[in-house]
Amino acid sequence: MTKHVTILTMIILLIPHLVISESISTIRIGIVRDGPEVRFKDDIDLLKQEIQQLIADEYEIEFPSESNIHGNWTASEIQRAINKLLASPDIDMVITMGTNASYEICRREVLPKPVIAPFVIDANMQKLPLKSDGSSGVRNLCYINAYKSFEREVQLFRTITPFKHLAVLVSSLALEMQPYIPDYVKRLEKEMGITIQPVPVETSAHDALALKTGTDAVYISPLMRVSDDEFQKIINGMNEKKIPTFSMQGRTEVKAGVLACMARDTDYNRLLRRVALNVQRILSGENAGDLNVGFILENQPINEQMVINMNTARAINIFPPWKILLASELIFEESRAIARTLSMEHAVKEAVSVNLDLKSDAKRLAAEKEKIANARASLLPQLSVDSTTLFIDEDRAIASSGMAPERSWKVSANASQLLYSDKAWANYTAQKHGYQAVKQGHCALELDIILNTAIAYINVLKARTFERIQIDNLALTRANLDRARVRHSIGTASPSEVYRWESEIATHYKQVLKAKSQTRQAMIHLNQILHRPLDEYFALKDTSLDDPIFEISNDRFMSYINNPVKLSLFEEFMVEQGIQNAPELKQIDAGIQARERLLIANHREYWLPTVSLQAGLSHQVAEGGKGLHPSMFSIPGLPPMKMAESDDTDWNIAVMASLPLFSGGNKGAQLRQTREELAALHFQHESTAQKLEESIRFNIHQASASFPAIQLSKDAAKAAQKNLDLITESYSQGVVSIIVLLDAQNASLAATSMAANSAYDFLIDLMKLNRSAGNFYLFKSTKARENWLNRLNTFIHNNGD
């Protein structure tokens, strides 16, 4: 009995597996390619992967190697390959992986098995079957119109740069297999007023570069036989000739150097995923001929955004209008020759060393220092040397009795030394204090420059971020315009709705231009502070709260901001540090010390004399002419007498003491003036200290409010974005009106801007706090920042409860 129960149990457990194994059918898919892969060699593997991932649980999918065939890049071989797979009883479905194979199979009116042709270039241009409901209408035929319109792309190409003579690089096989091309080209030439020259290309870049004289633009269709190296030669050759290029293939070729392409939301993986979905729908019982052939399905926006390679634009000197640039995805936009990359710390250090205002003030400080030497000079010995050559008339020389020869040359030297002058010493001391005052003013200016540099740096980041947000908002508005066009095309919206979005786009264009202008203005201002060419471009290292210089990740610091009790202690610490470090107070203190010394000197001037020592030495070097020797003279009643002669060298020494008794009230006036200036400085010190304390406390509370706002604004932005996503989906489905979507978009824009700016606003508040405290510890060494935090912790510990 137990044995039978066991067997029965095993049978019951195996039944689901047996049912599943029986329910899974094996589907064999054949693939036709135009020829052996030269470019995009992974396409087949990617296609297989997409199909297996989507329906492997429903069907056993096989891709027989003998049914993965190609046409060797010839029309007859492609046709033979298609015929083989369509006739093969071992193949359930055919997929054409090539533009020529796709075109060839779509022309057939009778298909014995389901066919998917995903590489149709332009159904209208190729005159493929297309019903009004968007299906092919041919039983078993589902193609995918991957490229919306060759004509439309040429029109958009002309908005980038006007041209008259367009060359279209196209495979010679396509020209052979698609006979509609000449008539189509003639029609476009007539409608657009341009000439279009199809240029057949095999495998060599030489074929592509053999353009007619006067060709001023090149459109590149998929050149699948051209290797990557040869294709790069084509791009390089066109760029060297300064000929703008446009790629049908897409973004990959633009990244390689083609000027532009149309960037739909149709990336290659999505195209292959669409093929896999069509395979699933066909296997589920739908007729391939009833499936929609458009790559953009109903209620999905039609994105006509272009991709432009700005490196190429600069190289060939083609610059599209702003309206085109703002509506396009720009690759290598910042690849202009940028000589430098700045971090905030580097910018601050550079500003301190090169800022013109600081350099000018440094020279003023150096000049002020010389005033000290000038004041000290009066306390040191003074020495002068004179040389005098004298010529006098003969009569006077004779009458001088040898005292004044007709010609004489005398050399003399004079020396003096101030033995004591309280006024001179007071001036010397006052000048030293005056220099310290100017030095502290220079320190204050340096702090201002650091603050201005940091804020200017952050403002560039803010402007750049705001510019990106406005560009994204413009792109969103364009997508909403596409949604409105889809809604209008299916009858769920009126034309006014389309016009409203077009109006919004015009408004957002202006906002983007304004944002770009603000970014350049911010960069110009930072260049001015850094004494750089004002039009110089530079890259910025983004500054966030995770930057080590901010120590924001340090729990010891942030715990003071987030804790109301500790915040009060932190506030007192910063006030104490600010009063202690403030160069403005030190500057006033130096002025007070100077005035106090001058006041003492003014009092002493009433009774303390100035004492000095003077000495002189003269020597008669040479003399001649009349009056050289003393003459005889007589006094009546006495015998003649000869004048006494002195030698040629004279000297003298004198000690002088001077005490002015009355100077018209000058001493009293100076005394009163100095006393009033001193009193004014004391009031100024008190007022400045009070203002500094106010600034510190204000900035602390500003920072304590702006820090939690960072996370709050991020939360608000996330919520606004989720709301926008829901309303956008509802709008696409016709559930909500344009007004609701506009409100949601504006709310999301405001919340995103606030979230982007909140961190920068906190950093600015932090910078202002450091400036008001008189110490930018943020830009000092790691050790100095650690010491500052340790002092803060000690203060909190000693003063906390």
pLDDT score for 295: 66
Euclidean distance between CA atoms 94 and 481, whole angstroms = 37
Strand partners, 219: 168, 246
Between residues 127 and 333, which one has the greater pLDDT? 127
Euclidean distance between CA atoms 217 and 45, whole angstroms = 35
Strand partners, 387: 411
Give the chain's mean pLDDT: 83
Between residues 634 and 306, which one has the greater pLDDT? 306
Euclidean distance between CA atoms 98 and 73, whole angstroms = 10
> Is residue 217 scored above 90 in pLDDT?
yes
Instruction: Provide mean pLDDT across the span 259-278.
Output: 77
pLDDT score for 246: 94
> Is residue 373 scored above 80 in pLDDT?
yes
Residue type, 466: F
Q: Residue 287: which of 96, 48, 93 has the closest Cα?
A: 93
Euclidean distance between CA atoms 598 and 670, whole angstroms = 9
Euclidean distance between CA atoms 681 and 397, whole angstroms = 65
Task: Categorize the per-residue pLDDT at 405 as very low, low, confident or very high, splitting at 50, 70 and 90.
Answer: confident
Task: Categorize the per-residue pLDDT at 645 as very low, low, confident or very high, splitting at 50, 70 and 90.
Answer: low
For residue 374 the two structure tokens come to 């000038």
C-alpha dihedral sign at 513, 518, 523, 528? positive
Gyration radius (Cα) of the chain, Å = 47
pLDDT score for 545: 60
> Is residue 320 scored above 90 in pLDDT?
no
> Is residue 203 scored above 90 in pLDDT?
no
pLDDT digits (tens, 9 = 90+) for 456-466: 999 999 998 89
Q: Do domains 27-143 and 149-263+305-331 have the same CATH topology?
A: yes
Q: Nearest-5° angle of CA 53, CA 59, CA 64?
A: 85
Could you tell me where the DSSP H helices lie in 660-737?
666-732
> Is residue 219 scored above 90 in pLDDT?
yes
Identify the weakest region by mean pLDDT among 32-36, 110-114, 129-133, 232-236. 129-133
CB 287 within 8 A of CB 139: yes
The matching CATH number, chosen from 3.90.650.10, 1.10.238.10, 1.10.10.370, 3.40.50.2300, for 149-263+305-331 is: 3.40.50.2300
pLDDT score for 95: 92
Between residues 629 and 565, which one has the greater pLDDT? 565
Q: Residue ranges per domain, the chain?
A: 27-143, 149-263+305-331, 441-540
Euclidean distance between CA atoms 595 and 157, whole angstroms = 77
If you classify domain 27-143 with CATH, what class do you get?
alpha beta
Euclidean distance between CA atoms 495 and 507, whole angstroms = 19
State what percent of residues in the chain have pLDDT above 90.
23
CB 66 within 8 A of CB 87: no
Q: Which DSSP string do the residues of 359-373 spell out, in sequence order?
A: HHHHHHHHHHHHHHH
Q: Residue 261: which of 98, 152, 132 has the closest Cα?
A: 152
Query: Helix 738-772 and helix 422-489: axis angle, to 10°?
Result: 170
Instruction: Provide mean pLDDT across the span 603-626.
Output: 86
pLDDT score for 265: 44
> Is residue 441 scored above 50 in pLDDT?
yes
Euclidean distance between CA atoms 198 and 221, whole angstroms = 10
Give the phi and the psi of residue 750 in degrees, each rounded to 5: -65, -45
Give the phi and the psi of residue 341 in degrees, each rounded to 5: -125, 125
pLDDT score for 19: 44
Euclidean distance between CA atoms 521 and 383, whole angstroms = 60
Q: Are strands 329-331 and 165-171 parallel, antiparallel or unpaired?
A: unpaired
- Give long-range contacts, CB 8 A cutoff, 24+ apart: 661-665: none
Residue found under tokens 């000589």: 339
pLDDT digits (tens, 9 = 90+) for 44-91: 888 888 888 888 778 888 888 888 898 898 989 999 999 999 999 989
Task: Categorize the per-residue pLDDT at 614 as very low, low, confident or very high, splitting at 50, 70 and 90.
Answer: very high
What is the helix (H) or strand (E) element at residue 771, kind and residue range? helix 738-772
> Is residue 453 scored above 90 in pLDDT?
yes
Q: Residue 263: which of 147, 122, 158, 150 has the closest Cα?
A: 147
The DSSP code for 208 is: H
Instruction: Provide mean pLDDT across the span 734-739.
Output: 84
CB 380 within 8 A of CB 590: no
pLDDT digits (tens, 9 = 90+) for 104-148: 899 888 899 999 998 888 787 888 888 877 788 889 999 988 656
Euclidean distance between CA atoms 707 and 758, whole angstroms = 8
Burial of 162 from C-beta contacts in 10 A (0-12 / 13-18 / 19+): exposed
Residue found under tokens 């039983």: 139
Euclidean distance between CA atoms 344 and 547, whole angstroms = 10
State what percent of residues in the chain have pLDDT above 70.
88
pLDDT score for 516: 87
pLDDT digits (tens, 9 = 90+) for 568-577: 888 888 898 8
pLDDT digits (tens, 9 = 90+) for 89-104: 989 999 998 888 988 8
pLDDT score for 151: 84
Residue type, 130: L
The DSSP code for 773 is: T
Q: Is 386 helix (H, G, I), strand (E, B) or coil?
A: strand
Residue found under tokens 């006077």: 396
Between residues 632 and 54, which one has the greater pLDDT? 54
Task: Categorize the per-residue pLDDT at 15 as very low, low, confident or very high, splitting at 50, 70 and 90.
Answer: very low
Instruction: Provide mean pLDDT across the span 173-180.
Output: 84
pLDDT score for 502: 84
Please count the CA atoms within 13 angstroms of the CA of 741 that sit on its side-chain side: 26
Instruction: Provide mean pLDDT across the span 448-477.
Output: 90
Task: Categorize the per-residue pLDDT at 298 as very low, low, confident or very high, splitting at 50, 70 and 90.
Answer: very low
Longest CA span, the chain: 186
> Is residue 239 scored above 90 in pLDDT?
yes
Q: What is the dihedral of CA 775, 778, 779, 781, to 10 degrees?
A: 100
> Is residue 563 scored above 80 in pLDDT?
no
pLDDT score for 638: 62
Euclidean distance between CA atoms 93 and 104, whole angstroms = 16
Task: Categorize the per-residue pLDDT at 238 as very low, low, confident or very high, splitting at 50, 70 and 90.
Answer: very high
Euclidean distance between CA atoms 390 and 623, whole angstroms = 9
